[in-house]
Amino acid sequence: MTKAGSSPTDTTNVPQIKPPLWVNAEITYKCPLHCVFCYNPLNYASTFEKELTTEEWLKALGEARELGAVQLGISGGEPLMRDDAEEIVAEASKMGYYVNLLTSGIGLTEKRIAAFKAGGLDQIQLSFQDSTKEMNDFLSSTRTFDLKLKVARLIKQYDYPMVLNVVLHRLNIDHIEQILEMAEEMQADHVELANSQYYAWALKNREHLMPSREQLEHAEAVCNQFRARLGNKMKLYFVVPDYYQDRPKACMNGWGTVFLNIAPDGLALPCHEARMLPGLEFPNLRDHDVRSIWYESDAFNAYRGDGWMKEPCRSCDEKHKDFGGCRCQAFMLTGDARNADPVCSKSPHHALVTDQVALAQQPRASDDDVRPLIIFRDDGNSRRLS
Amino acid sequence: MSLANDRPLRFARQYKLQWETAQNAWVLLYPEGLIKLTESAGEILQRIDGQRTATDIISSLQAAFPGADLQQDVSDFLEHAHDKGWIITH
Ligand code: SF4
Ligand code: SF4
């Protein structure tokens, strides 16, 4: 592998590297949906012709398992767009992974769920865009709502807990009550209501997606009512956008510490979004084994430890708590991945975040006005934005 | 919630116990993550098989580690595991 030109490779302060624990296998970026907040890279369509084969996936997963990885997410895109998803799940389960399938539910027929169950799949996470058909159609621009309800029933029928992920944003967050009523009707056991994070397509659409403070407060109050009424029967997690906070998230629990993301084309990444970081040459599973990628590649060593940090993180006493936040967010907003994540109030770039939050307090335009302004995730837009 | 001593114990749905060579430890796997178990926690949880009761598990441990008085520690740990939702009676 050639050395990455300007990447920070000062690894003198790197503590002993621990093996990866979590693998997220994005087995394809193909997806029948067009979510406005999609976290797939803008140029996702460029991976279509280069997807790893079944054998290549199994080889990579086997190598990661040998190093000690034990949690496995099978995601995408829509992982069910690949007809070898069952085979990958079954083989991974045999290797000893705890396997989690993250799906929009499209393509999850009874035949397929039976095969997953037989293959040892441990959990299914179903994602939903909204509870009202109209809104759902608007948000995903396909007619998928009834189908998801059917899938929710199948998941229960096959004795999986019903885990529901709903991405919240300015355009759907006021429907929170209907969303939770629907979740209750589906007998959801866990509901994660996370506000969209502003990466990839969501960053493109950020001003249309960021909720106002008032919207967040309303949503949280409704969540609390449901919590009080349903208790442990339906566990609710509500996550506000990090822009509303003054300390960043401990992104990935630190770069290259536990998490290995494998993109459909075999690129090994320390997080879903890292592909866009400049100056790093991410290794491909086609050319390298997981061991050398994890322990030796410049890309995985780039932001390990704290030797790469600049001020204010370098001398901050919280640096082992949040690791300076998210490298991708720092790069996207400030142009330098080594800067503090500007969500942090100590960051000299913090105004980039608070200005956006201020903008989100402005009166909400009607959906009809917003709709033409949104950039939907689709193959045409992906090729245009590459 | 107090744990009945005379009912068989099993892992709650979604919880899996597994030996991990890389960590040289028993780990408990569940959807949001994993818990690396101490040696004694591993010894206890290994004995949960859907048949044995808390009493059975204690006598099995006492046979394996004669001389140690394990009763209280094991009961406390099983109680803890039950409170955490890792194991259930059936
Ligand atoms: S966020 Fe939506 S469009 Fe993107 S991969 Fe997931 S389901 Fe598909
Ligand atoms: S200055 Fe850096 S390390 Fe300190 S709290 Fe902010 S982001 Fe975290």
* ipTM for the complex shown: 0.87
Q: What is the CATH number of the domain that holds B34?
A: 1.10.10.1150
- C-alpha pair distances (Å), A88 with each of A112, B17, B58: 13, 22, 40
Beta carbons of A163 and A123 less than 8 angstroms apart: yes
Answer yes or no: is B50 within a domain. Answer: yes
The answer to whether the CB atoms of B34 and A70 lie below 8 A apart is yes
Cis omega before residue A312 (within 30°)? yes
- C-alpha pair distances (Å), A181 with each of A33, A52, A124, A185, A196: 23, 40, 21, 6, 21
Which stretch of DSSP H or E encloses residue A383?
helix A379-385
> At CB < 8 Å, which residues of chain A contact B?
19, 21, 66-68, 70-71, 96, 98, 100, 122-123, 159, 161, 163
Ligand 2 center from residue A318 Cα (angstroms): 6
Task: Return the residue whose CA atom lies nearest to atom 4 of ligand 1.
Answer: A38
Q: Which residue of B has its CA nearest to A101?
A: B31
Which stretch of DSSP H or E encloses residue A133?
helix A133-140
Nearest to A58 by CA among A31, A84, A78: A84
| Ligand 2 atom with least separation from CA of A345 | 6
Answer yes or no: is B4 within a domain. Answer: no
To test the contact with chain B by mutation, choose from A16, A17, A22, A70 the residue with the greatest count of B C-beta atoms within 10 A, namely A70
Asked whether the predicted pLDDT for residue A14 surpasses 80, the reply is no
Q: How far is CA A3 from the centre of its chain?
A: 29
> What's the average model confidence in pLDDT over B51-73?
90
Confidence label for B35 from pLDDT (cuts 50, 70 and 90) = very high
Q: How far is CA A306 from the centre of its chain?
A: 24
Answer yes or no: is B42 within a domain. Answer: yes
The answer to whether the CB atoms of B18 and A159 lie below 8 A apart is no
Answer yes or no: is B2 within a domain. Answer: no
Distance between CA atoms of A106 and B71, rounded to whole angstroms? 51
Q: Identify which of A21, A71, A161 has the shortest CB distance to residue B13.
A: A161
Answer yes or no: is B58 within a domain. Answer: yes
Which stretch of DSSP H or E encloses residue B55?
helix B54-64
pLDDT in tens, A286-304: 999 999 999 999 999 999 9
Distance between CA atoms of B22 and B34, rounded to whole angstroms? 14
Confidence label for A144 from pLDDT (cuts 50, 70 and 90) = low
Answer yes or no: is B1 within a domain. Answer: no
Asked whether the predicted pLDDT for residue A381 surpasses 90, the reply is no
pLDDT of residue A103: 94
**Contacts with A83 (C-beta within 8 Å, 6 or more apart), sequence order:** none
Distance between CA atoms of A17 and B22, rounded to whole angstroms? 13
Q: How far is CA B90 from the centre of its chain?
A: 15
Chain A residues lying within 8 Å of B24, measured CB to CB: none
Range of the domain at B74: 9-85
The answer to whether the CB atoms of A70 and B13 lie below 8 A apart is no
Distance between CA atoms of B86 and B13, rounded to whole angstroms? 8
> Among A30, A38, A209, which is best to mutate for testing ligand 1, by the most ligand atoms less than 8 A from CB?
A38
DSSP A173: G
The arrangement of strands across the sheet holding B33-36 comes to B16-20, B25-30, B33-36
Ligand 1 center from residue A77 Cα (angstroms): 5
pLDDT of residue A89: 98
| Ligand 2 atom with least separation from CA of A319 | 3
pLDDT of residue A126: 92
Task: Return the residue whose CA atom lies nearest to atom 5 of ligand 2.
Answer: A318
Task: Return the residue whose CA atom lies nearest to atom 5 of ligand 1.
Answer: A77
Strands B16-20 and B25-30: antiparallel
Distance between CA atoms of B50 and B9, rounded to whole angstroms? 5
Measured from CB, residues less than 6 Å from any atom of ligand 2 are: A 247-248, 312-313, 316, 318-319, 322, 324-325, 340-341, 344, 346
Distance between CA atoms of A361 and A125, rounded to whole angstroms? 32
Q: What percent of chain B has pLDDT over 70?
A: 98
Chain A touched by B84 (CB under 8 Å): no
| Number of domains chain B is built from | 1
pLDDT of residue A11: 47
> Of the ranges A59-73, A127-141, A189-203, A255-269, which one carries the lowest mean pLDDT score?
A127-141
Nearest to A120 by CA among A149, A156, A96: A96
Q: Identify which of A19, A66, A123 has the shortest CB distance to residue B31.
A: A123
Which stretch of DSSP H or E encloses residue A170?
none
Ligand 2 center from residue A324 Cα (angstroms): 5
Asked whether the predicted pLDDT for residue A188 surpasses 50, the reply is yes
pLDDT of residue A133: 57
Ligand 2 center from residue A299 Cα (angstroms): 22
Q: Is the shortest distance between the CB of A40 and ligand 1 below 6 Å?
A: yes
- C-alpha pair distances (Å), A284 with each of A51, A264, B39: 12, 10, 38
Q: Which residue of B has its CA nearest to A22?
A: B33
> Of the ranges A177-181, A343-347, B1-5, B14-18, which one carries the lowest mean pLDDT score?
B1-5
Answer yes or no: is B79 within a domain. Answer: yes
Chain A touched by B14 (CB under 8 Å): yes
pLDDT of residue B2: 67
Asked whether the predicted pLDDT for residue B88 surpasses 60, the reply is yes
What would the DSSP string read from start to end of A200-253? HHHHHTHHHHPPPHHHHHHHHHHHHHHHHHHGGGSEEEEE--GGGSSS---GGG
Chain B residues lying within 8 Å of A192, measured CB to CB: none
> Of the ranges A62-66, A155-159, A379-383, B45-49, which one carries the lowest mean pLDDT score?
A379-383
Q: What pTM value is reported for the model?
A: 0.89
Chain A touched by B36 (CB under 8 Å): no
Chain A residues lying within 8 Å of B21, measured CB to CB: 68
Answer yes or no: is B90 within a domain. Answer: no
The answer to whether the CB atoms of B34 and A123 lie below 8 A apart is no
